[in-house]
Structure 1
């Protein structure tokens, strides 16, 4: 902070110079005025002496005139170059008072509206913390300086969890949700912290948080893991196996937590079998479908379409509802183009590509921008929804 205050002091000196320089100029003008008054007094005294000598007969009239002229020349020589006297309407006290008040007022305004704490935090964050306690202290100060920073709140909550402070973490995650909105990941973190803060006792609050998180995102990993832990602790081993099995599918290969998670599933399976129960395997989810297709325009049609015409590319079930299962939109100017149609592009959640064994690819040009009717169309032969090879689709026929 030393360089900051040095810069502030330099700016303060510049500001004071604008106030004090006029005061110094007035003082110099006053000195000039006093010197001019002294010269005038000396001139008047010299003229009086000449007049006395004339009356005594020492000087004649010509000599008197010559003496007066000489005294006048000396007066002009002494006052030559002096500025005209200036009048100050403000007076001297006001600029001096302002010179004192300006620094005090500036300092007060900076302490009230400034951000010296954030400047100091920025300097501290430029250096790596030496301990977990130092990192926690920095995060706490950052949150105090920026209480609306969702990122700062989130990392502080995670740090509290790493330090086995779940009660503090639960409060911070609650604030994070209030700032960033009810996002599934934040709800899961809040539920986890609240569960451990309550001494690993399941509550209606934790249940509501996990339910909301999984409703927004059925793959939310923290909620799945927490529900598995709670089920295991309450000896609901089949539920624990189901939740942890769903979580295991979401974890990427090579994730260090996969081994621990698989170990938990194994222990839950052993306890379930030891109690006389039978493990019910969850149905294996179908692999998500993803079709890659390159769409082009027949050469004979290039002169008959306009660059701004809409192009709708979609897949529909060969045996099933007529509604498109997945769709993309572009313009003629974008052709040729390669697009991907998958479960993520489903028009409705229950109508996914992977739910139908055979589909047909369709590309339609519509000048009016209507996906159900247009001028030109291209269709593929039926193909399996599990096809991975890139398909070629050419728009070459009138849309009837």
Structure 2
């Protein structure tokens, strides 16, 4: 921030100069007026001397008139170069007072209405976080600077859950739903945070949230996982197995969480058998597991923007659901120097296991340039029209608009 405040101080000095220059100019005019008064006094003194010499008989009348005329010409020559004094109605104190108040008032107004916090936040996001706590603090500051950003709130809620702060996460997800609408993924995240915040106690609110999420999307993964956990904790092992198998069918074959989920299904099966029950084998479409959407997109930069960007500026290419959570479904990172470039976005590029392209029928492609390396905000952006996530044809995406 030091360079920012130095630039601010320089601008204030320039502003002060516009106020102080007239004061200095007025002082010069007063000096010229004083010199004119002195010349007049010298002229009068010279005329008095000539009159005394005329009375003493030293000068004749013609000589006295000639000498007086010469003195008058000298006076006129000295005063011709003096500009008439401007008439000021402001007085001396007011400009000086303004010169002192302008920088102070400007600084106060900037600190109140300005964006110094956003400037500092942008500089901070340009550096990699040192820990999860560091990332959470940055997200908190980003949300404070942009309280209406559903995307920022969503990531903050996820960070709180990773830090085992479910009560804070529940509040954040509730605000996200208010901003982005009652999307199934957001409802599932809210229900999960509420469940853990209540000490793993199933409540009517959690039930209502999961019911609403699964009604809108029967394959909403967070709700399926949460219902499986609640059923297992309640010793309803067959329900847990059914929910977790539905969840397992949604995960890509390379997803690392599949092993843990299968372990949960196995434990629930053992508990069920030990209690004298029998596992009902619900069919799982194995062929569907691991299959997913794959979008191919060519990203380029508009010609009139090439002189306004730098080769090292980050370029984030991602797909997001047109009717779904604000978080990107799949994303890749490039630099301006890589453009034009062709990238592929698929389920393997999912930001989170439960958010995959194949889970959403319609998506939008977005490419954003961010000098600060911040995926949520940047300087320039390009957006595609909504398209089916199953689209096989290559898409062309041009970065051509300011990111607002």
Q: TM-score, normalised by structure 2?
A: 0.69
The answer as to whether partners of 2:272 and 2:278 remain within 8 angstroms in 1 is: yes
Q: Which aligned pairs between 1:189-268 and structure 2 lie closer than 5 A? A: 189-268=189-268
Matched residue, 1:150? 150
Matched residue, 1:97? 97
Query: 1:285: Cα distance to partner?
Result: 6.0
| SS class of match (1:136) | helix
| SS class of match (2:182) | coil
Query: 1:287: Cα distance to partner?
Result: 8.0
Matched residue, 2:106? 106
Report the Cα distance in structure 2 between the residues aligned to 1:24 and 1:198, rounded to whole angstroms. 72
Query: 1:124: Cα distance to partner?
Result: 1.4
CA distances 1:184-240 after superposition (whole Å, capped 9, x unpaired): 111111111111111111111111111111111111101001111111111111111
Query: 1:142: Cα distance to partner?
Result: 2.1
Q: Which aligned pairs between 1:257-336 and structure 2 lie closer than 5 A? A: 257-283=257-283
Report the Cα distance in structure 1 between the residues aligned to 2:9 and 2:236, rounded to whole angstroms. 69
The answer as to whether partners of 2:245 and 2:284 remain within 8 angstroms in 1 is: no
Runs of at least 5 residues in structure 1 that lack an aligned partner in the other structure: 289-343, 346-400
Matched residue, 2:39? 39
CA distances 1:58-80 after superposition (whole Å, capped 9, x unpaired): 11112112211221222123223
Matched residue, 1:138? 138
| SS class of match (2:249) | helix
Matched residue, 2:126? 126
The answer as to whether partners of 2:139 and 2:152 remain within 8 angstroms in 1 is: yes
| SS class of match (1:250) | coil
Matched residue, 1:161? 161
Report the Cα distance in structure 2 between the residues aligned to 1:284 and 1:82, rounded to whole angstroms. 101
Report the Cα distance in structure 1 between the residues aligned to 2:167 and 2:252, rounded to whole angstroms. 30
Q: TM-score, normalised by structure 1?
A: 0.69
CA distances 1:24-51 after superposition (whole Å, capped 9, x unpaired): 1111111101101110111111112111
Q: How many matched pairs? A: 292
- The structure with the largest alpha-carbon Rg is 1
CA distances 1:92-111 after superposition (whole Å, capped 9, x unpaired): 11111111111121111112
Report the Cα distance in structure 2 between the residues aligned to 1:109 and 1:133, rounded to whole angstroms. 33
Matched, 1:58 2:61: no
Matched, 1:18 2:18: yes
Matched residue, 2:297? none
RMSD (CA atoms) = 2.1
Query: 1:286: Cα distance to partner?
Result: 11
Moved more, 269-278 or 27-36: 269-278
Matched residue, 1:29? 29
Runs of at least 5 residues in structure 2 that lack an aligned partner in the other structure: 289-359, 362-404
Matched residue, 1:178? 178
Query: 1:275: Cα distance to partner?
Result: 2.0
| SS class of match (1:219) | coil
Report the Cα distance in structure 2 between the residues aligned to 1:119 and 1:151, rounded to whole angstroms. 20
Query: 1:248: Cα distance to partner?
Result: 0.9
Matched residue, 2:115? 115
Report the Cα distance in structure 1 between the residues aligned to 2:144 and 2:206, rounded to whole angstroms. 27
| SS class of match (2:14) | helix
Report the Cα distance in structure 1 between the residues aligned to 2:106 and 2:32, rounded to whole angstroms. 36
Query: 1:144: Cα distance to partner?
Result: 2.2
Report the Cα distance in structure 1 between the residues aligned to 2:242 and 2:163, rounded to whole angstroms. 30
Report the Cα distance in structure 1 between the residues aligned to 2:24 and 2:147, rounded to whole angstroms. 49
Report the Cα distance in structure 2 between the residues aligned to 1:181 and 1:10, rounded to whole angstroms. 46
| SS class of match (2:142) | helix
